[in-house]
Amino acid sequence: MEFKIHKIKPKQIIALVLAVIIAFMFIRFFAVVIPRGADDNDVAKGVNYMAQLEKVDGDEAVSVVKAAQKKYNKSKNIEKLQQQIKAGNYKPAFKGILIVGDSVMEAMRLYGVLDNDQVIAKVGAGPSLVEDKIKRIVKIKPDVIILHFGINQMGNKSQVSILTNSYTKRIKLLKKKLPKTQIYIDSIFPVSKKNIKKSPRFKNIGYYNTCLKKLAKELKVGYIDSTSMWSTFKKNYYDGDGIHPKKAFYTEKYLPNILNEVGIDIG
């Protein structure tokens, strides 16, 4: 009896190797993505997907492998960020984000919530701080800049142009120096009722925020509404002065809202 030995073509070898790689990757992928106790539906979807992969040629298989690896890496990265945030560490999630502002933002650096290269702030500051620190800001070269000013420039309604004009000048400067950076104007936080009674100018916070939102639209930058959530709080997030928030506000409310607003997916 004669036995015929068939030569295996190079493309068949490549396809076989890729099939093994794909199988290995998807075992790892589904171990991360599909939680324990997943129902038969989830498993069936995975098996069906693997069956479909057997039909692709070598070149297409390479593309599938790359896409699968990218998806797997993303899921692992999100999982890691979730664990870090759960532990109260927002620094990795805020990589590439720079917050520039007044003492309300300076608190995050002092509390150790964010690093020095993630917060540039100063007590009593206004938008002119951007110009004062422009060299440092350009050196950091952030993907996203969040500007938070206004509480120190708060006056009566007729004085709002002082703040908006100052913002306009500095945002134009940022656009010139960092054309690829996304810029956001953050709303002015509300203060306690006690402070409103003590200083009537704080009654204009809502009006000032309306003007800042309009300005953001005119300058084609983003606007972050960080004020509306205050009305939903069931506990006191104000520090003793009724103006500056406690550390818990930043980690429990503010920073998650910022990530959501700038479109960073943490699951």
Share of the chain above pLDDT 70, in %: 70
pLDDT of 26 higher than 60: no
Residue 63's pLDDT band (cuts 50, 70, 90):
low
- CA neighbours within 13 Å on the CB side: how many for 222? 18
The b-or-e profile of 116-149 (16+ CB within 10 A means b, else e) is: eebbbbeeebbbebbeebbeebeebebebbbbbb
pLDDT of 37 higher than 60: no
Q: Which residue has the higher pLDDT, 24 or 234?
A: 234
pLDDT at residue number 257: 93
pLDDT of 61 higher than 80: no
Q: Give the integer Cα–Cα distance in Å for 80 and 86.
A: 10
Q: Shortest CA distance to 121 belongs to which of 136, 107, 135?
A: 107
Residue given tokens 């910022």 in the structure block? 258
Q: Give the integer Cα–Cα distance in Å for 62 and 64.
A: 5
Note the pLDDT tens digit of each residue in 193-238: 999 999 999 999 999 999 999 999 999 999 999 888 888 898 899 9
Mean pLDDT taken over the chain: 82
Amino acid at 156: N
Share of the chain above pLDDT 90, in %: 59
**Rg over CA atoms, the chain:** 26
